[in-house]
A and B are shown apart, each in its own frame.
Chain A
Amino acid sequence: MTTAVDMSHYVRSDKIEALPPPRLTRGPLAWMRENLFSGPVNTILTLVVLYLLYVTIPPVIRFLFTDAVWTGTDRAACREDTVGHPVGACWAFVIEKINFFTYGSYPAPERWRVNIFFLLLAIGVGWLLWLRAPRRDLGAVYFFWVFPVASYILLTGGNVDFGGGFWLTFAIAAVALVGLLVAAAYFLQTSMRTALIIGLGIVAVIGITLAFIEWDFGLLPVPTALWGGILVTLLVATVGIVFSLPFGILLALGRRSKLPILRLASVIFIEFVRGVPLITVLIMANTMLPLFLPPDTGVDRLVRPLVGTAIFASAYMAEVVRGGLQAMPKGQYEGAMSLGLNYPQMMILIILPQALRIVIPGIVNTFIGLFKDTSLVSVVGIFDLIKTIEASRIDPNWAAPTISYTGYAFAALFYFIFCFGMSRYSIGMERRLAAGQKR
């Protein structure tokens, strides 16, 4: 009774200072009791898992390290009957074949060109992925223009023969493009000077690119049939990744467009490409793409699967990006529209930066899937890393029981390093971008 009366007339006279949280039991033993043996079920599970680890881990360690052979020049080094003890992975095989795994049949005296390509690629990726790198705008120009052109010239040798009259055609096309843009600006009543600058810029970029490709740098031409190994794997993966994101974004925007034709086209494209296996897309790109094009254009046999993977990955990317767009609250669109931003500005400045951040895990997931799917290009006769391993493991010089396992273990390691790297980077980036910007 008295307390009830007291409680109804209560005025706080002092402020309770913040106290540290109660001290929990800490230390490894407490942690184990809490996390591993907190009940009978968990205890049994822990013991089962420990037993499974005991059964699987030691043999793997034995195969990969303790019983592995690190040096040797032929199969004798890796056969149990010749060395006299059980043999695990035959790393000597990988070391001997590493050049083939890296360059395929790229001519040995020209392999420095591939090394420079790897270096340029590493610089470009580093420049773009390091969020605090200086001049990332220049990095983008480098990665999306300088690097592809330089790589093309380095890897193929450049010196493409466009044939007589090409530059005349180009000049006419250039004038037509600039004229078209200026005319469009005139009819849309926007700045004609901007249109002129944009038109000349496009013409200049294309012209310079073509001029470089045609220029004779004195490099030995290397047909793509000779390329192989990690070179091809990284090339296909890079092209797929670089093209899939912008195309995916465009497809996602198209699918959400108010224009029925655009929407229908995007839906058909996405659903069709997603509905067929990558192998089908690759085989179709390989055999059917040349049918659609004029016979004398002769699409390179490496370009076909490049187009195939890029198309395939874009369709998946489109759906990932669409998920992000759908997660955006309507208020963000309205806020942007009420300020007078037009559609491209609203999308580029407000919606996409937020939507893409939401789907970073999905985007990287698609990238990782794409990276591993590049191994399927071997189906259409491209010598990627898997195909070079396949070709090497049947080399009679290295006929030994564990050669195949060693080769596949090497492939697994290679793919794992790249995919794990992507995964860690995306986690780091999510954390950085989330800092201080919680809604």
Chain B
Amino acid sequence: MISSNLSAICYLISGILFILALRGLSSPDTSRQGNYFGMSGMLIAIIVTFLSIGSLSTSLIYVLVLLLLGGTIGAFIAFKIPMTAMPELVAGFHSLVGLAAVFVAIAAFLNPEVFNLGISGKIKLASLIEMSIGAAVGAITFSGSIIAFLKLRGIMSGAPITFLGQHYINLLLGLGIFILIFYLCKTQSANIFWLVIAISFLIGVLLIIPIGGADMPVVISMLNSYSGWAAAGIGFTLENTALIITGALVGSSGAILSYIMCKAMNRSFFSVILGGFGADGSSANSNAQTDKKPVKSGNAEDAAFLMKNASSVIIVPGYGMAVAQAQHALREMVDKLKKNDIKISYAIHPVAGRMPGHMNVLLAEANVPYDEVFELEDINNDFANADVAFVIGANDVTNPIAKTDPKSPIFGMPVLDVEKCKSVLFVKRSLSPGYAGVDNELFYRDNTLMLFADAKKMTEDIVKNLD
């Protein structure tokens, strides 16, 4: 058994190692080292916990077996998961953190003696407030993440589910939790504690169902943030520095990511939370398609010819590319172009994938070197000097209407200035609008050549024509 002062210092060290883990992510070079810092921080925290308990009963064996069981499941998932499914995986993992927070809070409520929180029925006031907040936020994270997971996985429709008075119900339930926590402090009644958790589960569900599929990047980041605050709440209850530091880090990280995502879509955080986006898009695009504007369409041969004679090509990938599994064919195409001394770069919009940075991972998986991949603000000026922009699987993020038409729902959203290129190659199945339900003006530009086909098949055809 080690002294509680020593263990507190060890927890502080693991907290610092977690900070270094995040710090490492400032560049891909240092990121791997950062991940090892994170792992060692976790190892220290777990070992110190075992040592600080000291009197180890037979239940230690069960703990180790369960640790190993969970670890094996986790490792198995980590190696099997396809990179396109990362958003679901992260949502699923968030739900586990949330549920673990709820269970730890319940354990602390039922057996406060082991956590030094007073005795059952007479738990210290501050601890009671902390653990009920931890449990409530954890429960919201859990059920919210489950809904996000189901929507991302396609088990549940991505369409927003809205009903009358929805936000008032959420507000009432939220207020109800505060009142219940107040009564919990007065009465220490277990039933009220259970009720707080039950209502929180309900809020989690109600909070996420009105949010449409297009806003999922914000939702995942938001739930990331919640899982952090839940951990911090439990950290206060357990008086554990490692948990408090981690909770604060994760909480602010998720909040920043939500902010970046909202800004990239030019949506206020509140309008995302209130939901309903994408539900009314159908009427807008139906009248847009009635006035038939001329569209130039071409085939793989034309595309290959254009790119062969270019000196620089910018590739604009979107989630559609990943759905069509075209990234490896794309990489093959790029390799051939590079042999002809054509300069290639990739332009990534912050919401190109389905979670922050998703597209970068997908390109990295296809062996695209990360120093050829640029963010929107770094590359937007280069479009004017490039010969060809190759848009594959992206749509709304290239729509010039976001800069010109104040009436458009996507007006003000930062977009890639694809139209400034000498010629634009746009791979798409049809002229249908994207997630936002807005017709893309780019289709009808003189310098745009539409390539109507499946992204993967078209890219493969272009590769053949490049020989």
Is chain B a partner of chain A in the same complex? no
* Interface residue ranges, A against B (CB under 8 Å): none
